[in-house]
Amino acid sequence: MTLLELGQVFAMKPAVYFTSVAGSDQDPTNLVGLVRSEEELGEMGADHMSTSVIFGDTAYVVINGFLGEPLPP
């Protein structure tokens, strides 16, 4: 992706934004409010399907999106 106004090119990676814990107010791993790439989820041992991520014994509601990593000029 290129932002012409900034003259910057980004590599895009699939990622998720953790919005809440499914069925609970407790967040034992403090992921709510954070963004993690698909790569990071794999390294964590988390399972991602559709709008959910299971990490350990906790199910999270997530929003799918992307992270932009700036590339050198």
pLDDT digits (tens, 9 = 90+) for 30-71: 999 999 999 999 999 999 999 999 999 999 999 999 999 999
Cβ(34)–Cβ(18) under 8 Å? yes
Task: Read off the pLDDT band of 3 (50, 70, 90).
Answer: very high
**What values do phi and psi take at 36, rounded to 5?**
-135, 140
The pLDDT-based confidence of 73 (bands split at 50, 70, 90) is confident
Q: In whole angstroms, what is the distance from residue 66 CA to residue 64 CA? A: 7
DSSP string, 4-70: TTTTEEEEEEEEEEEEEETT-S--TT--TT-EEEHHHHHHHT-EEETTEEEETTEEEEEEEEEEEEE
What pLDDT does residue 16 have? 98
Compute the average pLDDT of residues 9-15: 96
Strand partners, 47: 54
All structural domains of the chain with their residue ranges: 2-70
